Structure 1
Amino acid sequence: MGKKNGEDKRGLKLLFWSIAGLKMKDNLFWDYVKNFYFVGLTETWILERDWNKLKDVLPKEFQWKLQRVKKENRKGRAKGGIITGVKKDIKEILRRGGNRNGRHG
């Protein structure tokens, strides 16, 4: 493990979490998220009107995408919602002897 020629050989870390609401998460939570390369947060409960505010809080090291939720009823909170993030510095890595399709030879 460790680094060789400046490359991190420990692998790519993935976080997948059913978050049960995202609005109240603090800096400690977002600092933890920064330890991963790929992030999938489900049950975010984020409505379209809340997305612009939330984008200001999300770590800038990631490219974020949102699947918004819609409220089924006027009362109560929205259900569902997914946010995915990929660190911006992720590069395509080719296996030795492989091509872009993953085939060898």
Structure 2
Amino acid sequence: MGKKNGEDKRGLKLLFWNIAGLKKKDNLFWDYVKNFDFVGLTETWILERDWNKLKDVLPKEFQWKLQGAKKEKRKSRAKGGIITGVKKHKRGR
């Protein structure tokens, strides 16, 4: 955590999680996610068409990207989907 010889020893924290659906995650989940610098969430089941609604509720400390889930059949549940987040750091850090 501290500095030694002018170097930052903090390191970067990475989270990679198969979350089996993202829509019902609560504030406790998102508070945990905020502890990381890079986030990879797989099996989100989020379709491209739902992305605009969802990205408004994601933590603002991150820049988020979506690889949307796919449906095999019209009435089936979406499969797959990946969301990645990179924490925005303020200049001078």
TM-score exceeds 0.5: yes
Aligned to 1:85: 85
Deviation of 1:90 (Å): 7.7
| Alpha-carbon distance in 2 for matches of 1:65, 1:90 | 20
| Alpha-carbon distance in 2 for matches of 1:25, 1:69 | 17
Number of equivalences = 90
Q: Any idea what the Cα deviations from partners look like across 1:29-73, whole Å, max 9, x if unmatched?
A: 000000000000000000112111110111101010000122110
Tell whether the 8 Å contact from 1:64 to 1:86 is kept in structure 2 after alignment. Answer: yes
Tell whether the 8 Å contact from 1:37 to 1:90 is kept in structure 2 after alignment. Answer: no
| Alpha-carbon distance in 2 for matches of 1:58, 1:76 | 26
SS of the equivalent of 1:63 reads strand
Deviation of 1:10 (Å): 2.7
Name stretches of at least 5 consecutive residues in structure 2 with no aligned partner. Answer: none
Aligned to 1:72: 72
Greater RCO structure (CA 8 Å; 6+ sep): 2
Amino acid at match of 1:3: G
Matched, 1:63 2:63: yes
SS of the equivalent of 2:63 reads strand
Tell whether the 8 Å contact from 1:44 to 1:83 is kept in structure 2 after alignment. Answer: yes
Q: How do 1:1-105 and structure 2 match up within 5 A?
A: 2-4=1-3, 8-89=8-89
Per mean C-alpha deviation after superposition, the further-off stretch among 8-17 and 75-84 is 8-17
Amino acid at match of 2:28: L
Q: Percent identity?
A: 86
Name stretches of at least 5 consecutive residues in structure 1 with no aligned partner. Answer: 92-105
| Alpha-carbon distance in 1 for matches of 2:7, 2:35 | 16
| Alpha-carbon distance in 2 for matches of 1:71, 1:81 | 10
Amino acid at match of 1:43: E
